Structure 1
């Protein structure tokens, strides 16, 4: 995904399968995929006489007791198993598609992409990793294997060829450089409350800011009396844009339904003046922006298609997805098939895991 998008969402109201808690991945792979699902109680920690070799790998000793690997693995499954397993499943889906199409994403590819993104933010790779760790709690290894590798793999699967029309360029120019409506906005999530708010605004237009602080469900703009960034055209909210651009300075809109359970009341405070008026001055940048957006759209479509075409039986969440006409192993015999499943499990766990940049 583009560098802005894969930091959002990683964001974003969507499923954050990229941002997996990779530090627990090894334990969860052992605990989930090999179905070591027992969970011992603290009092059941293994004990051993001094000098006796532990029968299972111990990760810690507390007095005379040891805490074995299996106990830690089981706790990791309980706490983080769903997120880590979802990440492994998604990476395995992508990996199998790459193998079927003879596509490979190398360590060098991953490093080059990290370097490219870091440069865009005027940072060296180590500075970029440090920022991700501090602000997103995302380790370099997690970032490489659960964000960058899937992004590059899906881009290869989707292809880089996209059609960009003059209409695309003109809309992007208007969106980025055209006039915008300076506005304050009250955002609401219930129609009856929106009607109540609009009646209050209609009676006392001068108190719009105070009413925004009282009614708006958007915490950021509410604290600013409803102030929002200027509204451009072609930004993705047609109804909001139509209503905003009809207003003259000082006018207040009616109730604008933006989506299901999303309503807005807008107060126009004028228009911005375009700084760039000639599209030729910025055409190359617009082309790159549109190309990236269309590739991201194609990537999302490819991934959705792969998920629909791949049978997945998730024994941890007791859910299944994908085609229903294929024989799959059941949860009851997963332990017997553990040896045959080990190779793809290891590939999925290690996918995108590379030596970090120096």
Structure 2
């Protein structure tokens, strides 16, 4: 994926905190509903569709007509929520609002200047509206519906309520308020005002509106307690949708229980189960299928269950251990009770929120005008009306700019730099160039028709269905940048015999089957290594991995990890692994900040493959990888040597070649380029993701 400086910085942090923000807090429970999950399409007079792209959409700014003048008339200004019924009126002695960390894009006329060319607010507004207009409009409508319900029931949410909730959420994660708000800015792009308006206020309002529907019964509390602290079953799982095959597998593992893990790896049709050798989280009560839970809790350690049908799948369990219930002291019970009650209320609240929007949408008269040319002619400048009151197109654009402008601008800067370089080289991109790149991507990922030609239609369906984004957006944000970079750098790369030999060994050569223990502390690693040396068996090594390894896969699988191949990017680890014989153990291998101990199980056999076919596939793969590096290097150079003033981010760089890192005020950075991106690329916030960035590439897998 091609990323710009801000995306590069944020991607690393996002990877570290992804799980933390997956359930961002009780306030985050409503993010989906409030920012787009509400469906008012059935109330609209016409369908919600993206605007028809302009003829030169791939080389210019795609978009739609959008009024830049603010219309007169009675409106509900969604952008100015603190001053209207959609958010609380400040009461009491509220603290002064903090100064914004960065400018709001709606307050600037010029967003950025790239080598003397401006990106205006209108330009960026069209891009944001095109990408996010539909979901942002749904969020605005939902907030209006909540506001009307609150007005009807005379419910008021004060500034003190909101500040208190933010403090509560921050303390829940052991963070001071300012650190919590910083994380929200970095990971979700929320300013404090946006967070209050779009998340906290609606959540508090929905709580009050549904207070009588979220009461928790004693029976529900008991079930939650049993699920959380009651007995559990540590088990292995084989899952498949074919009853005939599952019966055969059941007969096999019943006769040879020691093969259960391997059978799950080879045959489970759930990739998560197969890749973990059948290891699943402990089974708890009241969380899933009641019949499966009953059978699981009836098994003795080492016992195999009968075949269990759940929906259209068939399961086989092997009990590893019956885990006793956890004892809670009387001193801890009040805190445990409070947390369980809060969790149950939040769960009920999710259901209530969904029903609320459905009910309110039926009561209200909602007309969705956005992107409907006929309705737009009748109500110019309006994106939607709610009970006759309009949300204007300008308000919707402002909301999109405020929410996504910072990120989308990074992509527009990248696109501007590429476009300027094409002009400098007198290169143009034609429709046939774009079509050829899409066909190349389809072929690269194995999507061919029976005659061997690329199946473009199937590829486009797959690459866009994840985010329900239009093909035009995929072409603009993924295909066009790939073609542009290839025009700039040329598509010729040199593949040597040494490259081919290493690739052959990596993909088809022998690999080392090992058990691994990964530790984060050298002193601990030395102690574990000593224990393993004193009891040199596979079983004891596996038990040490389950007890001490800090790497989740090796810990849950008794040290079992994927076979180590040559030329995988860890020379020291490969050298150590390939020096071992079956039944021997390595020393401690220091790799980055981890310490690894290996125990050799043996070597796999090289894969038998036709040399000519292998050479063809490997050449294609190597050309792609080398071209990727070439494109990435050139893109980095173009960004580095461009004069870029980003007024939204408050950064500037002179564009002088050879400028020392850090010189100037926050020079932009970039990251690697993956030509011709895959699923997920079409909704990159930055708006530039060359076409093959998110799907694995390599020769077709062969069973070993």
Fold shared per TM-score above 0.5: yes
Deviation at 1:262, TM superposition (A): 4.0
In structure 2, the residue matched to 1:162 is 493
Deviation at 1:58, TM superposition (A): 1.8
Aligned to 2:646: 314
Deviations, residues 148-183 of structure 1 (Å, cap 9, x unaligned): 211121122112222222222221222222211112
Distance 2:397 2:526 in 1: 53
The one of 574, 577, 586 aligned to 1:244: 577
Q: Aligned runs of 1:183-202 on 2, under 5 Å?
A: 183-189=514-520, 191=522, 194-195=525-526, 198=529, 201-202=532-533
Tell me how far 1:231 sits from its aligned partner.
1.3
Matched, 1:118 2:470: no
Unaligned runs of 5+ in 2: 15-49, 52-61, 69-104, 112-118, 126-192, 199-376, 449-454, 658-685, 691-704
Alpha-carbon distance between aligned partners in 1 of 2:399 and 2:547, rounded to the nearest angstrom = 44
The residue aligned with 1:6 is none
Correspondence for 2:424 among 100, 108, 111: 100
Cα pair 1:311 1:323 within 8 Å, conserved: yes
Q: 1:144 aligns with which of 475, 478, 487?
A: 475
8 Å Cα contact 1:173-1:279 kept in structure 2: no
2:514–2:561 CA contact under 8 A, matched in 1: yes
Q: CA deviation at 1:283?
A: 2.5
The CA RMSD over aligned residues, in Å, is 4.2
Give the one of 72, 75, 89 matched to 2:399.
75
Q: Residues 83-124 of structure 1: CA distance to partner in whole angstroms, max 9, x if unpaired?
A: 211111111111111111122222222222222322443263
- Separation in structure 1 between the aligned mates of residue 575 and residue 472 of structure 2, nearest angstrom: 45
Structure 1 residue 298 and structure 2 residue 630: aligned? yes
Q: TM-score, normalised by structure 2?
A: 0.38
Residue 34 (str. 1) matches residue 120 (str. 2): yes
Match of 2:504 in 1: 173
**Structure 1 residues not aligned, in runs of 5+:** 3-8, 17-22, 43-52, 326-347, 353-358
Q: CA deviation at 1:70?
A: 2.6
Structure 1 residues 278 and 114 mapped into 2: Cα distance closer, same or farther (>3 Å)? closer
CA distance in structure 1 between the aligned counterparts of 2:422 and 2:643, rounded to whole angstroms = 16
Task: Tell me what 1:256 maps to.
Answer: 589
- Matches of 2:474 and 2:602, distance apart in 1: 43
Which TM-score applies when normalising by structure 1? 0.70
Shift of 1:275: 2.5
Q: Distance in 2 between matches of 1:103 and 1:233?
A: 41
Runs of 4 or more above 6 Å deviation: 27-30, 39-42, 53-56, 348-352
User: Could you say if the C-alpha distance between residues 104 and 188 of structure 1 is closer, same or farther in structure 2, counting changes exceeding 3 Å?
Assistant: farther
Give yes or no for contact 2:641–2:656 (8 Å, CA) kept in 1: no
Inter-partner Cα distance in structure 2 for 1:230 and 1:56: 63
Residues of 2 paired with 1:323 and 1:145: CA distance?
26
| 8 Å Cα contact 1:169/1:287 also seen in 2 | yes
State the aligned residue count.
305
2:582, 2:601 within 8 Å by CA — same for their partners in 1? yes
Higher RCO (C-alpha under 8 Å, 6+ residues apart): 1
SS at match of 1:112: helix
- 8 Å contact from structure 1 (residues 129, 139) kept in 2: no
